[in-house]
Structure 1
Amino acid sequence: MDLNEEKIVDQAESAPSRNKLALTRGKLIRAVLDLPTAWRRTFLVTWDSLSWVIALLAFVLIRYDLSLTNVQWFWTLLYIGLAIAIQVIGGFALQIYLGRSRIGSFAEATWIGALTMLIALTLGPIFSAVTQNFPHGVGLVVPPFALIWMAGGRWLFRVATSTRHQASSDAVPVLIYGAGSTGHQVALLVDKDDAPHYEIRGLIDDDVTKRFLRINGHRMLGTGDDLVEVARATDVRKVILAISKAPAHLIQHIHDECHANGLELVIVPPVSEMIGGRVSLAALREFNVQDLLGRRPIHTDLSSIAGYVTGKTVLVTGAGGSIGSELANQVHKLGPSKLILLDRDESALHAVQLRLYGVGLLDTDDMVLCSIRDHEALKAVFEHHRPDVVFHAAALKHLPMLEQYPAEGWKTNVWGTANVLCCARQAGVTNFVNISTDKAADASSVLGRSKRIAERLTAWYAKRYDLAYLSVRFGNVLGSRGSVLHTFRAQIDRGGPVTVTHPDVTRYFMTIPEACELVLQAGAIGNPGDVMVLDMGEPVRIVDVAERLIAESGKSIEVHFTGLREGEKLDEVLFSEGEAGDKSAHPLINSVQVDPLDPATLPREKPRREDVYGLLGQDEARQLTAVADTDLEALVS
């Protein structure tokens, strides 16, 4: 039997006796915990008062063998009486006995220590100065002795109340993978749960220096390499991965190990999904494909972001969309003086208002129903609100649809962006962030070319008027409307097949909150006219995503390959040929330059086929003849 097996067997054999002891001890302390608050408060006051008396008697017995004179006893008892009075009065004044801090916590210990020190530094010198019959050692030694007794009582209380609850008969045996801060939180939550659904059999961690670590009595049973062996020896069915910042490759490896050996993997969500960075048992969830695609830690400088958002009037176009609504959510948390949400979809505006404010009345002027194609209506909005900052997220984004209807892509992504830029400049907007896409790099589609033109228009306004106008380019975001994850899940729910364009097609992925956080950061560090390119990590094969979602569903579903669509690339790129990304102040953001495009050079009135070909690169542009006449002078005035 090797060392790990001995530890596992030892833990299994000692578990029943430990549980009985814990149960008995738990019953004893529960009687105290269930007492009314007033009684518990009385216990604390009484214990602290007794601590002074015990400390005095112990010192006088050791130092003077209880042989003080009557006069010395008088001054000594007077000293202790005043010390207790100050202790009790001060304790209530500082709310120590009113539940200011948890009993036995560091915060409570600090307040108790400060109060005891105050008593020692005041009463001792006063008594020594008033009479020669006061033993000086009492003033020096008794206060720290009393503090030790106070702390000792609280320590015993914490030890008793830290007893974990008895797991129910149907509790699932689990191993906790990860013994860091998150692992500690999970273990304590499980142990303190009134009706634990999990029974912790042990912990494992890849850090070998933690091999002797115990968390609330739970032992370390090995490293990640021992996962399967330990799981079999302790008869567990689930593994809780308690590493909130676990990299994708580690999650992938652990999931594969668990899946191959009939174990279920439960995930602690990333910090961005937790309230205040704190774990809750309700937040634990089964492993899903998003854990492999969006778990990178994103570090942002909130002070630099707040510098151009906090206290300012901010307008978000396309605020009802996936990116726009998350941008609105993150901007709202930064405290703008006013947040204007603009969209052409009234239902989307209703949803985002409900999300941000908990109401959906749509009766305030910060909810703006307007199309960015309508220059006059847009101009009125900008003149009324006079925003300082604009995040332009409104766009048409579905590549195959725009291949069929290029005129719509032109009217929204090109003319719409030109309208927003023009109105922003005329209204005195100081910061403008245009949301772009990786399809604008080496553009081969209507979507990519129209967004590329939007980048160039933004650069022109930045250079022409020396304004902090820039674009941010990134790839696919997880969970957005119409994203590949939604499509695949819908196909799986219908029983398949799941359709993928090509077995080798790859895409970049990032979660919506991650992307928006970096968009805000890019807006703070970018220079006028820059195109800020977000580091999207490694590209992912779409067929791998499809197969993993199918595996999660537990269904037998086929994958059908349909072939690349018109204008679609096998592999997306973040930089066009000839673009060399320059490092920025943020490690996950690069910058490139694009040639500015004067709005006056855009086709006037109904665009000619050759004009559109030169800008959009489309052979089929017949539908563009439907584009309405537009007053270009308004766009460049």
Structure 2
Amino acid sequence: MAKQTKKNADGRTERKPRGIKNKANNMRALSLRYRGVILTFILDIGFCLASFWAARAAMFKEVAFPVNYTNFEIPIMIIMTAIPVCLLALFNCYNVMWKFAGRIEFIKFVGSYIVSVVILFIIKAILDASFNVQLWGTQIVIYIVFALVLTSIPRFSSLIVGYVKHVRRGNLSSGASEPPKRTIIYGAGNVGSVLNNRFIINPDEGYLPVAFIDDDNDKHGRSIGGNPVAGGLDDVEAIFEHFEPDVFVIAITDLTKSQLRTIYERLSKFNIPIKMLPPISDAQGIATTSLTLHDIKIESLLGRDEFKVRQELVDMSVKDKVVMVTGGAGSIGSELCRQALNFGCKHLVIFDQHENGMFNIDQEFVKKYDPSRYSLIMGTVREADKLAAVLEKFKPETLFHAAAYKHVPMMEIAPTEAVKNNVFGTKNVIEQCQKAGVKRFVLVSTDKAVNPANVMGASKRLAEMLVQTRASQGKMQMAAVRFGNVLGSSGSVIPTFLKQIRDGGPVTVTDRNIKRYFMTIPEAVRLVLQTGALASSGEVFVLDMGDPVYIYDLACNLIRLNGYVPNKDIQIKISGLRPGEKLFEELRYDKEKVDKTMHEGIFVTKLEKIDKKKFDADLAELKAIAEREDEAGIEKKVFDIVPRAAREQAIKERESSMRAAAAEAKMTETEQAETVEQGERTAPTSGETQAVA
């Protein structure tokens, strides 16, 4: 777009002020708008005049004029012309984009003529009674019919043309260069009706609606915009076979996760794209705005329906308080920072050693928040002196400890680093918080801390034990909160799969039977913030994660959502479990009992008591081993403190998984495709853990 500039007296280029440019654009748009209104108004007057004379000719071609009619014909013509035009204006029929008109606009248009008939018959009675002028009712009816038809031409011509094109498009040969996508719309309500109408009158968008699916039995067998409501989800196989669609479009804007998941599971098996509407507030918005359908996001299919925020719990944790987040530049930590600011913390202290992450979060926050509301502190939780200085300076009331090494394979090859950071870093933070008078401390833990099979999970379990054993040493309210995988965190499975899909595959899954819990980062953080209000004496809280998900199914769904067919367009490769990886993660130990809290999505575990004296002695020995970088010694000692059985079971599972992966690698592509279609998996090799309820 050309810049609005001019030359000043010195010959320098001068840019026209933005406000003047915007004002000129607005005036131009306003002028075009009123030009269209005036043109339509003039056309309506002309059509009504033409209708009057057409009705006059039809009535009096072979019939004599009624009593005194010719003496008053000009006033009668003016009145009969003015009344429909005035009522069209009164019913707001001059400020409508008729190309996108719906039922409301149509009702207003017809309603204006119905009222016109009533008024004209009242005028007829007055003329007859007071002026002895006969105005025949038949002439009024003929005039109104002619006027309605003629004035509808400029308004509904685009709709008529659209339907004609729709019929022609429906008969296009398969050899057309770019044939429209045969589209089945799920949802035969107001939104679906408007969307169907939009597709018909906008053929350039490339969608040819052919049928509706709706689970309301009363709608079955009826039609909307010329397209039948062919049945519900239970009939989708027959509907697909009959109409042979190229795409499904979901035209329901208020679906829950569970409802969307049910619809997706029924439609996805046909391996054609499934589209959704963008977030638009009402059906009229679909008709009048530019519309870009989008694919279903995998986040919308995973986990249970989100819980509502208990505002009083969030306020107890962060509102009007100084809040500090360790690991504040990480996936969970940065979201904790965002929501702490959004929920009204007095000041936020972001503590992290990751330089790039701190730079990125500062670049984001400086655009959204007053920079005086937060402070960035570079540092590591391994340095007790640094922590002490920061706590002394800012005096936070609530601290969320999210600083941790989290990647399982990396911590298997660097166990001493896992212990130094995740265990003794946590110990430093707890001790310095107690000295500084912090009121609330919340440790962000993980489901991998339950029956840990890897060093990372074991280090997080040791961090939980630190919270348990230190909670009675001071007034600080302390707790840990466990949850499973979060969607979209750095290095997590979904971004990895998406990159592999973009690269053309294969998508690598470690085992066909591996399952994980998933939750979105924003919801997990909202629950963590609310958990802060429940922290008291070293509890371990567990978030309701919903049902676990097979990672193999997740990979298949991601491939389909990107428009490909699993093991046909994009191969899925089974690689075998990685060191320390379990088939199933758990949210609590078998011996732990779970109680409800005042929040329906947060549960508290009843923990077994820990011998603090023995635990401290183990920690001292563990620290000495870590300082001399004895990786084998670290691994042995860590699994002397936490249960070793899960570690040994994981080793056996990995050996079995590697053998299964080798066998699957020998399968033909046809056999793999059949396996996907049939949804086959081998039987689980260990007990599945259900979501806490």
Band of TM-score, shorter chain: 0.5 to 0.7
The 8 Å contact of residues 328 and 341 in structure 1, kept in 2 or not, is answered as yes
The corresponding residue for 1:176 is 185
Cα distance in 2 for residues equivalent to 1:365 and 1:305: 19
Amino acid at match of 1:571: F
Cα distance in 2 for residues equivalent to 1:436 and 1:500: 25
| Equivalent runs, 1:500-539 vs 2, <5 Å | 500-539=509-548
CA displacement at 1:212 relative to structure 2? 9.2
Cα distance in 1 for residues equivalent to 2:583 and 2:457: 14
CA displacement at 1:424 relative to structure 2? 2.2
Cα distance in 2 for residues equivalent to 1:584 and 1:215: 49
Quick one: structure 1 residues 181 and 423, their matched pair in 2 at CA, closer, same or farther if it must change by over 3 Å? farther
The corresponding residue for 1:318 is 327
**Among residues 333, 336, 340, which one is paired with 1:331 in the alignment?**
340
Amino acid at match of 1:603: A
The 8 Å contact of residues 348 and 374 in structure 2, kept in 1 or not, is answered as no
| Equivalent runs, 1:430-579 vs 2, <5 Å | 430-551=439-560, 552=562, 553-554=564-565, 556-579=569-592
Give per-residue Cα distances to partners, 1:327-352, cap 9 Å, x unaligned: 22222221212222221111111222
Give per-residue Cα distances to partners, 1:304-349, cap 9 Å, x unaligned: 3133212222111112111112222222221212222221111111
The corresponding residue for 2:599 is 586
Amino acid at match of 2:274: L
Cα distance in 2 for residues equivalent to 1:590 and 1:346: 36
Q: Which structure has the greater CA radius of gyration?
A: 2
The corresponding residue for 2:620 is 603
CA displacement at 1:302 relative to structure 2? 2.6
Quick one: structure 1 residues 35 and 286, their matched pair in 2 at CA, closer, same or farther if it must change by over 3 Å? closer
SS class of match (1:603):
helix
CA displacement at 1:294 relative to structure 2? 4.1
SS class of match (2:496):
helix
**Among residues 247, 250, 258, which one is paired with 2:262 in the alignment?**
250
Report the identity percentage: 34
The 8 Å contact of residues 353 and 360 in structure 1, kept in 2 or not, is answered as no
Cα distance in 2 for residues equivalent to 1:562 and 1:538: 25
Cα distance in 2 for residues equivalent to 1:446 and 1:355: 34
The 8 Å contact of residues 251 and 291 in structure 1, kept in 2 or not, is answered as no
The corresponding residue for 1:119 is none
The 8 Å contact of residues 303 and 546 in structure 2, kept in 1 or not, is answered as no
Quick one: structure 1 residues 310 and 256, their matched pair in 2 at CA, closer, same or farther if it must change by over 3 Å? same
The 8 Å contact of residues 162 and 202 in structure 2, kept in 1 or not, is answered as no
CA displacement at 1:426 relative to structure 2? 2.5
Quick one: structure 1 residues 242 and 351, their matched pair in 2 at CA, closer, same or farther if it must change by over 3 Å? farther
The 8 Å contact of residues 474 and 533 in structure 1, kept in 2 or not, is answered as yes
The 8 Å contact of residues 347 and 374 in structure 2, kept in 1 or not, is answered as no
Cα distance in 2 for residues equivalent to 1:192 and 1:432: 59
Amino acid at match of 1:455: E
CA displacement at 1:185 relative to structure 2? 8.3
The 8 Å contact of residues 249 and 292 in structure 1, kept in 2 or not, is answered as yes
The 8 Å contact of residues 211 and 220 in structure 1, kept in 2 or not, is answered as yes
1:299 and 2:308 aligned? yes
Give per-residue Cα distances to partners, 1:425-483, cap 9 Å, x unaligned: 23332222211000111122211111111112223343332433211101111221111
| Equivalent runs, 1:250-289 vs 2, <5 Å | 250-259=262-271, 263-268=272-277, 284-287=293-296, 289=298
Cα distance in 1 for residues equivalent to 2:200 and 2:476: 57
Amino acid at match of 2:450: A
1:398 and 2:407 aligned? yes
SS class of match (2:478):
strand
Cα distance in 2 for residues equivalent to 1:288 and 1:454: 34
SS class of match (2:620):
coil
Cα distance in 2 for residues equivalent to 1:558 and 1:418: 45
The 8 Å contact of residues 350 and 362 in structure 1, kept in 2 or not, is answered as no
CA displacement at 1:505 relative to structure 2? 2.0
The corresponding residue for 2:148 is none
Quick one: structure 1 residues 615 and 281, their matched pair in 2 at CA, closer, same or farther if it must change by over 3 Å? farther
Quick one: structure 1 residues 371 and 231, their matched pair in 2 at CA, closer, same or farther if it must change by over 3 Å? same
Amino acid at match of 2:641: L
Cα distance in 1 for residues equivalent to 2:437 and 2:500: 47
Give per-residue Cα distances to partners, 1:521-562, cap 9 Å, x unaligned: 322345432211112222222222234444544564544444
The corresponding residue for 2:666 is none
CA displacement at 1:175 relative to structure 2? 3.1
The 8 Å contact of residues 440 and 452 in structure 1, kept in 2 or not, is answered as yes
Quick one: structure 1 residues 335 and 556, their matched pair in 2 at CA, closer, same or farther if it must change by over 3 Å? same
Cα distance in 2 for residues equivalent to 1:306 and 1:221: 50
Cα distance in 1 for residues equivalent to 2:445 and 2:294: 33
Cα distance in 2 for residues equivalent to 1:548 and 1:469: 40
Amino acid at match of 1:254: R
1:615 and 2:641 aligned? yes
Cα distance in 2 for residues equivalent to 1:521 and 1:305: 5
Please, which moves more after superposition, 554-563 or 324-333? 554-563
The 8 Å contact of residues 392 and 432 in structure 1, kept in 2 or not, is answered as yes
The corresponding residue for 1:409 is 418
Give per-residue Cα distances to partners, 1:370-412, cap 9 Å, x unaligned: 1111111111111111112212111001112212211101111
Amino acid at match of 2:580: G
CA displacement at 1:36 relative to structure 2? 3.7
Cα distance in 2 for residues equivalent to 1:189 and 1:445: 55
Quick one: structure 1 residues 305 and 538, their matched pair in 2 at CA, closer, same or farther if it must change by over 3 Å? same
The 8 Å contact of residues 477 and 512 in structure 1, kept in 2 or not, is answered as yes
Gapped runs of 5+ residues in structure 1?
A: 1-30, 44-96, 98-105, 107-155, 621-637
Please, which moves more after superposition, 413-422 or 298-307? 298-307
Amino acid at match of 1:578: K
CA displacement at 1:571 relative to structure 2? 1.3
CA displacement at 1:181 relative to structure 2? 8.1
Amino acid at match of 1:388: E
SS class of match (2:184):
strand
Cα distance in 2 for residues equivalent to 1:433 and 1:190: 52
Cα distance in 2 for residues equivalent to 1:192 and 1:377: 66
Give per-residue Cα distances to partners, 1:584-610, cap 9 Å, x unaligned: 223332211344657854316952558
The corresponding residue for 1:21 is none
Give per-residue Cα distances to partners, 1:605-625, cap 9 Å, x unaligned: 9525586554367899xxxxx
SS class of match (1:581):
strand
Give per-residue Cα distances to partners, 1:171-210, cap 9 Å, x unaligned: 6553331356875886798799897564555543213355
User: Scaled by the length of structure 2, what TM-score is found?
Assistant: 0.58
The 8 Å contact of residues 190 and 281 in structure 1, kept in 2 or not, is answered as no
Amino acid at match of 1:245: T
SS class of match (1:381):
helix
Give per-residue Cα distances to partners, 1:489-540, cap 9 Å, x unaligned: 3344445444333332222222222322222232234543221111222222
Amino acid at match of 2:310: D
Quick one: structure 1 residues 395 and 496, their matched pair in 2 at CA, closer, same or farther if it must change by over 3 Å? same
The 8 Å contact of residues 177 and 204 in structure 1, kept in 2 or not, is answered as yes
Cα distance in 2 for residues equivalent to 1:295 and 1:182: 25
Cα distance in 2 for residues equivalent to 1:392 and 1:517: 15
